[in-house]
Structure formats: C-alpha cells, structure tokens
C-alpha cells in the first residue's frame, strides 16, 4: 500500500500574499478514487455542471477571492436547489448574469470549498504545509529548498506512523520544463547525498511525478489548502494579518494536520520556516 502526496503552492510570486506556502495532501491509494468521485459529485451538486468544463483549473484564488464573499453576502442564504440553478445560469451566461445569479454562484463556490474539505476529512486525507514569510532569506545555491525538505520530513514521519511498510509517492503540479528538471535534480541530490534524505528514501520514492493540475483533482485540493493556509491560517510566529472571512475554512484545514513526536519533541505537519538558507550560507556575527 502507498500514500500519494499531491503538492501545490500559493504565494510563490511574493506579490500579494504575506506568506509563500508549499502544501501537500496525503491520500491513501485505495481512497483516492472515492475522493475524486465525491469531489466531482459535489461540484455538480453545487454548480449544476462542471465549474470549468474546458481545460481551465478551478483555482482557489477564483473560488475564494474577496469578491466571492461580497457577492455571496449581498442576499440571504439561497435554498440549495435554487442556488444550483442560479450558479449554473451564471456560469453559462457570464457577463450578462443577474445579481441573483451572481449571488447564487458566490454562495455555491463557498459551499463547494466547504464540501471538499469535509470530504477530505471523511477520506482520511492529511494536509502538510511549509509556510515561508515573503521576505525570508533565500538560498544562493541549487540545493533543495528547506520548505521542500521539511515537507518531506513531516511526510516521512506520517508514513512511519501509518504502518511499518507504507510507501510514499510525490506528485507535483507540472512546472515549466526546466524547473521540473531542476527540481528532479535537487530531489535526487537530497535523497541520495544527504543523511536525512537517504533515510527518508526508504519510505519516499525519490523521483517525483508531474501532472497537469487542471486534469488532477487532488492537485486542485492541494491548491485550495495552500491558498487557505497562506491567507487564512495563522500560527504563533505568523504576525501578518489574515483574511477573517477564511477563518472557517482555515479551521477545517487545521483539522487535517498530522501531529507526532520524535525523541520527546512534537512535530506538526504545518510549520513556519523563517530562513530558507542552509547554515553554511547564513552570515555569522563577528565577535
């Protein structure tokens, strides 16, 4: 048996969000198809059709942008059956949609996200996130960034806690080809040439897979979680303001975390990384 870790990110451009988030969702292989079918069913129940019937992705920044909450709140809560028809009409009509249709679509988006996170909980999905402040120092070398290595550490601990034999497969949203080659090279170096990497290669397959996010439901779930963590979840050392309207979703995501202990220390699957540089690249204060 194996767990598949689907990984996506939010805030990587370091423009609007205060935090850059690398998020992963671990799904047991035997639960994956059940989750995919249920998410697709929820999409039809909320929107009356596929939200994006072509090759576009249902991105979190479209589902959960501030405008969605404003539109959803401009009228009372609409009955689910009517809301579904209004949402479908809004998607079909586009710029000519009525105020009530826009409201129905806004409410349908929020209900869809709630449903997806509830389905993750029911299918025993576990969420992981490396959270990096926008102004955190960056490494100058081509080594694997610490947000990746820490994410793999937490995933490794999760696999150890799951059973004595579970393996982990890592699946990324496909990047530009040169970036994919670079990441494969960095992961190979990490898993083959570092002591922690060699240890973790016993449970995590070192070579990742790449998929198109608009064709892969689980990558879209990772995108949702990355966005919610970036904008709505705040841990102790995260001082920048959050968006209060995301608090309910952040609480759902928080329940998907994994916690464990190693040698008396607590480890959570969500962590904040203040400095991405390896020790040898940090400035040493002069005496």
pTM of the model: 0.93
The string of DSSP codes covering 230-256 is HHH---TT--S---GGGHHHHHHHHTT
Report how far residue 195's alpha carbon sits from residue 197's, in angstroms, rounded to the nearest whole number.
Answer: 5
Strand 265-268 to strand 19-28: parallel, antiparallel, or no bridges (unpaired)? unpaired
Kindly provide the b/e burial profile for residues 211-221, where b requires at least 16 CB atoms within 10 angstroms of the residue's own CB.
Answer: eebbebbbbbb
User: Which residue blocks in 123-176 are alpha helix, DSSP H?
Assistant: 146-162
Phi, psi of 242 (to 5 degrees): -105, 175
Tell me the longest C-alpha to C-alpha distance in the chain. Answer: 70
CB-based burial label for 172 (10 Å; 0-12, 13-18, 19+): buried
Q: Are 183 and 172 spatial neighbours (Cβ–Cβ below 8 Å)?
A: yes
Report how far residue 217's alpha carbon sits from residue 130's, in angstroms, rounded to the nearest whole number.
Answer: 21
pLDDT value at residue 287: 40
Report how far residue 27's alpha carbon sits from residue 119's, in angstroms, rounded to the nearest whole number.
Answer: 12
In tens digits, the chain (287 residues) has pLDDT values of 799 999 999 987 767 889 999 999 999 999 999 999 999 999 999 999 998 776 667 889 999 999 999 999 999 999 999 999 999 999 998 889 999 999 999 999 999 999 999 999 999 999 999 999 998 888 776 788 899 999 999 999 999 999 888 999 999 998 888 889 989 999 999 999 999 999 999 999 999 999 988 889 999 999 999 999 999 999 988 999 999 999 999 999 999 999 999 999 999 999 999 988 776 666 544 44
CATH code: domain 2-278 is 3.30.420
Q: Where are the domains of the chain?
A: 2-278
């Amino acid at each position: 048996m194996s767990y598949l870790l689907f990984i996506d990110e939010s805030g990587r451009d370091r423009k609007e969000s205060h935090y850059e988030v690398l998020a992963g969702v671990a799904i047991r292989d035997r639960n994956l198809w059940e989750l995919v079918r249920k998410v697709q069913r929820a999409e039809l129940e909320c929107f009356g059709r596929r939200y994006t019937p072509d090759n576009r992705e249902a991105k979190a920044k479209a589902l959960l942008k501030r405008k969605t909450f404003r539109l959803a709140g401009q009228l009372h809560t609409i009955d689910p059956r009517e809301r579904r028809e209004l949402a479908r009409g809004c998607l079909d009509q586009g710029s000519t949609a009525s105020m009530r249709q826009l409201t129905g679509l806004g409410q349908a988006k929020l209900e869809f996200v709630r449903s997806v996170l509830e389905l993750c909980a029911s299918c025993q999905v576990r969420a992981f996130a490396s959270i990096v402040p926008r102004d955190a120092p960056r490494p100058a070398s081509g080594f694997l960034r610490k947000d990746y290595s820490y994410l793999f550490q937490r995933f490794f601990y999760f696999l150890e806690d799951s059973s004595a034999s579970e393996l982990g497969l890592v699946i990324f949203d496909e990047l530009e080809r040169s970036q994919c080659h670079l990441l494969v090279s960095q992961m190979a170096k990490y898993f083959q040439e570092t002591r922690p990497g060699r240890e973790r290669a016993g449970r995590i397959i070192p070579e990742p897979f790449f998929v198109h996010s608009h064709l892969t439901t689980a990558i879209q779930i990772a995108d949702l979680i990355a966005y919610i963590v970036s904008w709505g979840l705040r841990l102790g050392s995260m001082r920048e303001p959050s968006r209060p309207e995301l608090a309910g979703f952040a609480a759902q995501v928080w329940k998907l975390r994994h916690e464990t202990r190693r040698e008396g220390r607590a480890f959570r699957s969500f962590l904040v990384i203040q400095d991405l540089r390896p020790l040898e690249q940090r400035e040493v204060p002069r005496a």
